[in-house]
Structure 1
Amino acid sequence: MFSNITRVEIQFGDCDPAGIVYYPNYFRFFDNATAAMLSAAFAMHKRNWLDHFGIAGIPMVDTGARFIRPSSFGDVIEIRSEITGLGRSSFAVKHSVFRDGDLAIEAHEKRVWVVRGEDGGIRSAPLPEDVRSLLSQTK
């Protein structure tokens, strides 16, 4: 299925007093990596694909990570993101983070394709066939 690589240089503000990345920041990196992967798959920026597909977003409904090696200020990490499953209205993403070529983190997400209802709330919607096709491709 579709995959993408995002590189992130760790900034001073990403780190905790121990000098390593404060773990919630990885989830911010993962959110950006998922958006970058979908932008690559759809060949357009997130603000454009939100409008193009008429969706409210892709909220996360499940996530988790296994932290193997820490990263520090100045390190450059590589986040390899890949679609690992497609549901009716959801999709699964795996993130593998590498630092200096070594696996540092394994993480997963499950996200849902949502639209706005007439009441202003959000509800899940089936993945469009063109989206399903793009995310099923091997890059």
Structure 2
Amino acid sequence: MSKEIVYSIDVHFGDCDPAGIVFFPNFSRWMDAASHHFFRQCGLPAWHELTDPAQCIGPPLLEIHTRFHVSATYGERLDVHTRIEEWRGKVFIQHHRIMRGDTLICEGQETRALCVRQTDGRLKAVPVPDYIRAACA
């Protein structure tokens, strides 16, 4: 089981659609921010600062699944609870639960791969080093 890190969001007027509820793409934006926040809070440097693996660009998103339960609106404080659900060699799955107090607003899973930039400029997925896994445990 991994650590669970909380990333807080204040919902702004501009995050909402004309009906006054959070426009759905914002949840993906917040989960992405929570993903990066998770690793920093686990004590890891920014991805581009890593020397192992060399030329690391971070973990681009490969797949996302989101399930909405109830709406959120302007002025609310939301907390994104993030953890690693599964490690798979070069790929890992992060699970996010967006909460308003004790109420589950939505949940999502992101599949990401740790990648490096090759000398020809292309990206290549590489195994996630043990020290990164340990920092997140």
**Structures share a fold, TM > 0.5?**
yes
What is residue 42 of structure 1 aligned with on the other side? 43
User: Is 1:33 matched with 2:34?
Assistant: yes
1:1-139 matched pairs, under 5 angstroms:
1-44=2-45, 46=46, 49-53=47-51, 54-135=55-136, 137=137
Three-state SS of the structure 2 residue aligned to 1:42 is: coil
Q: Report the number of matched residues.
A: 133
- How far has the Cα of 1:101 moved from its partner? 1.7
| Deviations, residues 26-63 of structure 1 (Å, cap 9, x unaligned) | 1000000001001011344x3xx422244112111111
Query: Percent identical across equivalent pairs?
Result: 27
Please state which structure has a larger fraction of its residues in helix.
Answer: 1
- Distance (whole Å) between structure 1 residues aligned to residue 67 and residue 135 of structure 2: 28
CA deviation map 1:86-108 (0-9, x unaligned): 01111111101111321111111
Asked if structure 1 preserves the Cα contact closer than 8 Å seen for 2:44 and 2:135, the reply is: no
Root-mean-square deviation (Å): 1.2
Q: Unaligned 5+ residue runs, structure 1?
A: none
Q: CA deviation at 1:119?
A: 0.8
Given that 2:97 and 2:106 are in contact with CA atoms closer than 8 Å, whether structure 1 keeps it comes out as yes
> Within 1, Cα distance between the matches of 2:5 and 2:75?
22
What are structure 2's unaligned runs of at least 5 residues?
Answer: none
Give the TM-score normalised by structure 1: 0.90
